Structure 1
Amino acid sequence: MKKTFFSLCLATVSLLNLTDSFAQKGKLYTFPIGVESYTYRASFPKNVIATLDTIKALGITDMEGGAPKGYTEAEFKKLCDERGIKISATGGGYEELAKDPMPAINKAKALGASFIMCAWIPHQKANFNLENAKKAVEDFNRIGKTMKENGITFCYHNHGYEFHPYEDGTLYDYIVKNTNPQYVSFEMDILWTQHGGADPVALLKKYGNRYKLMHLKDLKKGVKGDLTGGTPPENDVVLGDGQVNIPEILRLAKKAGVKHYYIEDESNKEYEQMPKSIAYLKSLKE
């Protein structure tokens, strides 16, 4: 990790005083600052301690992620605990969860996480279809039931390809409507929702409390989305600089009872963009 990046991060944080509580009267964003650990995918393999120190310096106290390579869940949790960072959610691959959810459940418990999210349904690229959706519904209901029985909430994280038209809606609608609300909840990734041609605001109005987690990220203005579930990293911009209606999304997410919000910066400029994204959230008013 480059020292100049860390110094820039610390200087920016100091100027913005981002460690202040977000729960101020009139503030729209009143929840602990969260981050998806994938944001620092380039940094964690180089220096886990320095990366966690950077996250702490930003005032972040909530994380979605798992133990980096070379660390056990207990070891990573200890490092996070020492910095006041709670790991509230972690992830699991579709195949591993479908085969047996218990290893992922045990890892989540060791991390102190209450949620496990799955971020991808196997399918042919740009050709997500009804059979994929039906299989996912069957697997998600079974996985979610096992997780609930073990004190964990299962969430599916959308990636945009699910918004293929189906009947009077989309295949995403099919998944939401056919999964059992007792066992399956959702994590809305607002960039991928927008990129897939859906409206995050409309979905929050439609499905409300099915959403428990949220990825906060913004899509560059002028970018036209598609159903591939992919876009170049340069299209991931500072929150508030893109085309996603973040203030209205946050208003509705609060109303729906979303529990955790994680900034996920998939650009290659996370050290530059993260402080700006946090400052943007802090600036939002009711």
Structure 2
Amino acid sequence: MNQKSTFIALLLGISVAAFAQQRFGKLMKAPPGLVSYTFRNEFAKDMPGTLDNIKAMGFTNMEFSNLFGKTAVELRSLLDARGMICTGYGVSYDALLAKPEAVIQEAKTLGAEFVRVAWIPHTPPFDAEMAKKTVDDFNKFGQKLKESGLTFCYHNHGFEFAPLGKGTYFDYIVQNTNPDYVSFEIDILWVFHPGQDPAKLLKKYPDRFKLMHVKDLKKGVAHDLTGKTPPENDITLGTGQLNLPQILKAAQKTNIKYFYIEDENPKAAEQVPLSLAYLKGL
């Protein structure tokens, strides 16, 4: 922060850190959090040190989808000691099928508001029978979680955008799940990669999306429906194919509560600070 910004912060009677957080106000509804998968290798080796580094970058809000060998109690203690929070907890589809009570206990211990699933087990291609089972299971997951004060979200991964009738399998899942029980986390890279427009999807279902993964895709990468792309194709925000200003503008008119940067690239430690600076500059 420069001297002028520091002076303004003091004039307003708030901390420099608080003023820095407010500087996300134009296109971001809230300062972004970070997805734990971004630093999966670092977390596996040194969780306390990795949390320290993440906080030093400016993040206090985390979405965890792995406990990295810790218990939920241990991880919560590490977060509390650093003034950090976990708002989202990612688990597998099978975990919610087999042990929903354990998932609920871990999520509540972490302090998470949202429990999300990011992959539907299937043998490609995803088909109508699988889509129907998914809808039935999602409604059950969502009802169980809501009864415990949690919100279920499904994180798209690309393959759901295969055509079905006049729409896609993703449309079918959204339109046939109970909005009281099932919400969605939009991963904008995994909307764009299969050839869809993230801004248009946000406008189509503004009330169903509650979370967002903010990512960018390397220029030249072609569209496909595999739900897979090498991690090196995740690049610094604003340097790839996605129209992030347009997407974030559309997100302003949705129910999205938390935005998380996710960067799967092995060079994430170099890219994430640049991505954060890009968002501040919008």
- Identify the residue that residue 47 of structure 1 maps to in structure 2: 46
What letter matches 2:276 in structure 1?
I
Q: How far off its partner does 1:242 sit?
A: 0.8
- Identify the residue that residue 61 of structure 1 maps to in structure 2: 60
What letter matches 1:58 in structure 2?
M
Give 1:86-101 correspondences, 5 Å limit. 86-101=85-100
- Identify the residue that residue 268 of structure 1 maps to in structure 2: 266
What letter matches 1:120 in structure 2?
W
1:141 aligns with 2:139: yes
Q: Is the 8 A contact 1:22 1:29 kept in 2?
A: no
Alpha-carbon distance between aligned partners in 1 of 2:62 and 2:198, rounded to the nearest angstrom: 22
Q: How far off its partner does 1:184 sit?
A: 0.1
- Identify the residue that residue 238 of structure 2 maps to in structure 1: 240
What letter matches 1:145 in structure 2?
Q
Q: Is the 8 A contact 1:87 1:112 kept in 2?
A: yes
Q: How far off its partner does 1:20 sit?
A: 4.6
- Identify the residue that residue 83 of structure 1 maps to in structure 2: 82
> What's the secondary structure of 1:116's corresponding residue?
strand
- Which of 206, 222, 238 is the matching residue for 2:204? 206
Alpha-carbon distance between aligned partners in 1 of 2:280 and 2:90, rounded to the nearest angstrom: 27
Alpha-carbon distance between aligned partners in 2 of 1:145 and 1:225, rounded to the nearest angstrom: 35
- Identify the residue that residue 8 of structure 2 maps to in structure 1: none
- Identify the residue that residue 224 of structure 1 maps to in structure 2: 222
Give 1:1-286 correspondences, 5 Å limit. 20-24=19-23, 27-66=26-65, 68-125=67-124, 127-284=125-282
Q: How far off its partner does 1:19 sit?
A: 7.4
> What's the secondary structure of 1:243's corresponding residue?
coil
After superposition, the Cα gap between the structure-2 partners of 1:219 and 1:21, relative to the gap in structure 1 and judged at 3 Å, is same
Q: Is the 8 A contact 2:139 2:181 kept in 1?
A: yes
What letter matches 2:260 in structure 1?
Y
Alpha-carbon distance between aligned partners in 1 of 2:21 and 2:107, rounded to the nearest angstrom: 27
What letter matches 1:157 in structure 2?
H
Alpha-carbon distance between aligned partners in 2 of 1:210 and 1:192, rounded to the nearest angstrom: 17
- Identify the residue that residue 6 of structure 1 maps to in structure 2: none
Alpha-carbon distance between aligned partners in 2 of 1:221 and 1:81, rounded to the nearest angstrom: 39
Q: How far off its partner does 1:99 sit?
A: 2.6
Q: Is the 8 A contact 1:19 1:59 kept in 2?
A: no
Alpha-carbon distance between aligned partners in 2 of 1:24 and 1:265, rounded to the nearest angstrom: 22
After superposition, the Cα gap between the structure-2 partners of 1:25 and 1:232, relative to the gap in structure 1 and judged at 3 Å, is closer
Per-residue CA distance 1:203-251 (angstroms, 9 max, x = gap)? 1010001000000110111111211110011111101111111111111
Gaps of at least 5 residues in structure 1 are 1-16
> What's the secondary structure of 1:209's corresponding residue?
coil
Q: How far off its partner does 1:27 sit?
A: 2.3
Q: Is the 8 A contact 1:45 1:68 kept in 2?
A: no
What letter matches 1:139 in structure 2?
D
Alpha-carbon distance between aligned partners in 2 of 1:108 and 1:183, rounded to the nearest angstrom: 17
Q: How far off its partner does 1:257 sit?
A: 2.2
After superposition, the Cα gap between the structure-2 partners of 1:151 and 1:219, relative to the gap in structure 1 and judged at 3 Å, is same
Say which is worse superposed, 182-191 or 95-104, in terms of deviation: 95-104
> What's the secondary structure of 2:44's corresponding residue?
coil
> What's the secondary structure of 2:149's corresponding residue?
coil
Return the structure number with greater relative CO, CA threshold 8 A, min gap 6.
Answer: 1
After superposition, the Cα gap between the structure-2 partners of 1:66 and 1:19, relative to the gap in structure 1 and judged at 3 Å, is farther
Alpha-carbon distance between aligned partners in 2 of 1:282 and 1:88, rounded to the nearest angstrom: 21
Q: Is the 8 A contact 2:36 2:66 kept in 1?
A: no
Alpha-carbon distance between aligned partners in 2 of 1:212 and 1:26, rounded to the nearest angstrom: 18
> What's the secondary structure of 1:172's corresponding residue?
helix
What letter matches 1:80 in structure 2?
L
Alpha-carbon distance between aligned partners in 2 of 1:159 and 1:264, rounded to the nearest angstrom: 13
Q: How far off its partner does 1:33 sit?
A: 2.6
Instruction: Quote the RMSD (CA, aligned, Å).
Output: 1.6
Q: How far off its partner does 1:18 sit?
A: 8.2
Alpha-carbon distance between aligned partners in 2 of 1:249 and 1:135, rounded to the nearest angstrom: 31
Matched-pair identity in %: 54
Q: Is the 8 A contact 1:155 1:184 kept in 2?
A: yes
What letter matches 1:235 in structure 2?
N
Q: How far off its partner does 1:113 sit?
A: 0.4
Per-residue CA distance 1:171-229 (angstroms, 9 max, x = gap)? 00000000000000000000011001111111101000100000011011111121111
TM-score w.r.t. length of structure 1: 0.90
Q: How far off its partner does 1:100 sit?
A: 3.7
Q: How far off its partner does 1:30 sit?
A: 4.3
Alpha-carbon distance between aligned partners in 1 of 2:263 and 2:145, rounded to the nearest angstrom: 28
Q: Is the 8 A contact 2:24 2:31 kept in 1?
A: no
Say which is worse superposed, 231-240 or 94-103, in terms of deviation: 94-103
